[in-house]
Amino acid sequence: MAGDIDPQLVRAIREAVEARREDLVALLLRLVGTPSVTGHEGPVQDVIEQEFRSRGLAVDRWEARPEEIAPYVEHVGEQARYEGRPNLVARWPGSGGGRSLLLNAHIDTVEVGDRSAWSHDPAGEVAGDLVYGRGSCDMKGGLVAFLGALEALRSLGVRPRGDLLLNTTVGEEDGGLGALSTVLRGYRADAVVISEPTRLALVPAQGGSLVFRLTVTGKAAHAAMRDEGVSAFEKFLPLYQDLMAFEAERNRRLRHPLYERIENKVPINIGIVRAGVWPSTVPETLVAEGRVGLAPGEDMASFKREVERRVAEAAERDEWLRQHPPRLEWFSGQFAPAEVPADAEICRAIVRAHEAAHGSAPSVEGVTYGADMRLFILFGGMPCVMYGPGDVAVAHQADEHISVTELVAAAQTFAVLIAGWCGLAED
DSSP 134: T
- Contact between residue 111 and residue 49 where contact means Cβ atoms under 8 Å apart: no
Burial class of 24 by CB neighbour count within 10 A (0 to 12, 13 to 18, 19+): buried
- Contact between residue 320 and residue 230 where contact means Cβ atoms under 8 Å apart: yes
- Sorted by sequence, the CB contacts under 8 Å of residue 282 that are 6+ apart come out as 218, 219, 220, 221, 222, 223, 226, 228, 229, 230, 231, 276
| Distance from C-alpha of 156 to C-alpha of 425, rounded to nearest angstrom | 11
Residue in 108, 174, 284, 298 annotated catalytic: 108
- Contact between residue 31 and residue 143 where contact means Cβ atoms under 8 Å apart: yes
Residue type, 347: C
- Contact between residue 390 and residue 139 where contact means Cβ atoms under 8 Å apart: yes
The verdict on whether 108 is a catalytic residue reads: yes
Angle of the 21-32 helix axis to the 42-54 helix axis, nearest 10: 150
Residue in 163, 172, 400, 406 annotated catalytic: 172
- Contact between residue 368 and residue 266 where contact means Cβ atoms under 8 Å apart: yes
- Contact between residue 105 and residue 140 where contact means Cβ atoms under 8 Å apart: yes
Question: What is the CB-side half-sphere exposure of residue 205 using CA atoms within 13 A?
Answer: 20
Of 335, 375, 300, 346, nearest to 209 by C-alpha is 335
The verdict on whether 172 is a catalytic residue reads: yes
Q: What angle do CA 401, 404, 405 make, to 5 degrees?
A: 130
Neighbour-count burial for 335-373, b at 16+ CB within 10 Å, e otherwise:
bbbbbbebebebbebbbbbbbbbbeeebebbbbbebbbb
Point out the residues that are catalytic.
108, 172
